[in-house]
Amino acid sequence: MKKLSLLLVLVILNACSTSKRPHTTPLGVIGRQAMVVSAHPLASGVGSRILKQGGNAWDAAIAVQFALAVVYPVAGNIGGGGFAVFREEDGSVGSLDFREKAPLAAHRNMYLDEQGEVLGRKSLEGHLAAGVPGSVDGMVTLYGKYGSLPWSTLLQPSIDLAANGFTLTEEGATALNRSRDLFIQVNTFDVGMVKQEPWQSGEELIQPELSKTLIRIRDQGRDGFYAGETASLIIDEMKRGQGIISFEDLQKYHSTWRDPLIGYYRGNRIVSMPPPSSGGVALLQLLGGIESYPVARYGHNQWRNMHLMTEIEKRVYADRATYLGDPDFYKVPVEMLLDTQYLKDRMSAINLRKSTPATAIKEGNVEVVESVETTHFSIVDPKGNAVAITTTLNSYFGCKVMIKGAGFLLNNEMDDFSVKSGVPNQFGLIGAKANEIAPEKRMLSSMTPTIVDDQDGLVIVVGTPGGSTIITSVFQAILNVIDHGMGMQEAVDAKRFHHQWLPDRILVEDDVLSEKVEKKLRRLGHDFESRGNIGRVDAILVLPNGHLEGGADKRGDDTAIGF
């Protein structure tokens, strides 16, 4: 009888720990069958139209990726790379790594002078900052396995947008104006994104050379980018600007299918990206570290939760800096980092009444024999297939180099390597040997495209841009839904904060801290730095009635379109 009573208690406790889907009134766009959420209304519209034509989630994702390269050039791209995580209607999952690679001529000390000091901003601006692009190969690879509509159908919307032009939003005009001087500085010719007078919202941006490049990709597939005229234009640009990407680099580049990382949080399955993304490992560490705490009772953005989340984040980012890198070059201890006992031991020193200084936190004792401007989009099709893609040029407009005659920008992903061990990159992230530069190596990333489901099916499709803040923004969005019972738009709108071990301060959005909470956290030993916006989460939530709620981040032009 005692055994039966104990079993009953355990069943009840387990049921209580498994959060149900929120029953709050949805605030976002509702779709009965399908949903597309991306950083730009025109790109979301392209994806929605592809779905209405009978395309699946992968078709729509490919079309959105190319459309963003036209209408959202600050981060949308064909000259960058990214990651895709997806879930098929039957619950099977997968992921594709189309992250950029270091060129064959790259080497560990390529950004250091004779004294071993970092050479200015060469890993950030100009031709030498670019990794070998992966986006086009990634889309071709996804299409080869999952595409259903004709390839040309998926490319034509972006071709038309580039050739005929589109209307700039205020945000789009501001971004172009912000980078004007750097466009002029690093390019060897007049770039079409630069004009005499500042860009204004409502003006048309026409990109005829980009349109021709997209036509070559439409007609020749992978060879429309990595061979032929486009490849020749890339190499010509490298020669003009003393870059090191070669024909061989382009020919040898291929995306990689990877098994996604899978973990569990309060009865939900979490599916995320494995290395060379640090996002999946870090997200599962964060969720594993906090699961034993009564997050809902502590309250959203109240001092106990903010203190606890910050202390967990410090430890996770310390591990990230030490142990994560490209698994094709370095044995990444994923299983150990996600081991339940390791996480328990790792978090055991957290003091709920006092902040642990970052200088006192080292990497965990693992037995071992790592962009602000990225973009993410989430898609669910009428059959229930889901795709989450995060893609990037790294910085705003990447390295600012445009390929003459081809009309597209290159990334500056080389800065995501550890240019020098212990020296922070542009996001303040520290790296070590695991993420040092090597030919054909993929640089560590924070991109965290993620899908959440449970025994009843799909629950959340989520991701965000934000460089080092990507991981914590996805973490908070998931907690907002599962622990705090928010709908998707409410979870996306909620104010965010971030800690990454070093430097030792909490980044906070405006108005995230009440006076009472700030005073309490300062007494615990925390310092703060104000940040206008953190992340731009674009996500989808399956509601209890099976409808889809799109959460489009109001911090930008992000748009959800459902039907």
Active-site residues, by number, are: 374
* Nearest in space to 446 (alpha carbons), one of 268, 202, 281, 271: 281
User: What distance in Å separates the CA atoms of residue 453 and residue 435, rounded to the nearest whole number?
Assistant: 32
* Nearest in space to 152 (alpha carbons), one of 50, 56, 69, 253: 50
**Two tokens, residue 168:** 């700039």
DSSP state of 176: H
DSSP string, 492-552: HHS--EE--SSS-SEEE-TT-S-HHHHHHHHHTT--EEE-S-----EEEEE-TTS-EEEEE
* Nearest in space to 447 (alpha carbons), one of 145, 137, 131, 97: 97
How big is the chain, counted in residues? 563
User: What distance in Å separates the CA atoms of residue 302 and residue 520, rounded to the nearest whole number?
Assistant: 10
In this structure, the strands spanning 81-87 and 386-394 are antiparallel
User: What distance in Å separates the CA atoms of residue 235 and residue 237, rounded to the nearest whole number?
Assistant: 5
Cα 414 to chain centroid, rounded: 16
What value, to the nearest 5°, has the Cα angle with vertex 488 and ends 485 and 490? 75
* Nearest in space to 280 (alpha carbons), one of 345, 414, 370, 340: 370
530 three-class SS:
strand
Q: Where are the alpha helices (DSSP H) in 53-150?
A: 57-71, 135-146
435 and 425 Cβ atoms separated by less than 8 Å: no
553 and 171 Cβ atoms separated by less than 8 Å: no
**Phi, psi values for residue 365, rounded to 5°:** -85, 80
Angle between helices 303-323 and 279-290 in degrees, nearest 10: 140
User: What distance in Å separates the CA atoms of residue 40 and residue 371, rounded to the nearest whole number?
Assistant: 18
Cross-strand bridge partners of residue 265: 268
**Two tokens, residue 547:** 């409808």
438 and 161 Cβ atoms separated by less than 8 Å: no
Angle between helices 208-220 and 151-164 in degrees, nearest 10: 170
Q: Where are the alpha helices (DSSP H) in 115-256?
A: 135-146, 151-164, 170-178, 180-186, 208-220, 223-226, 228-241, 247-252
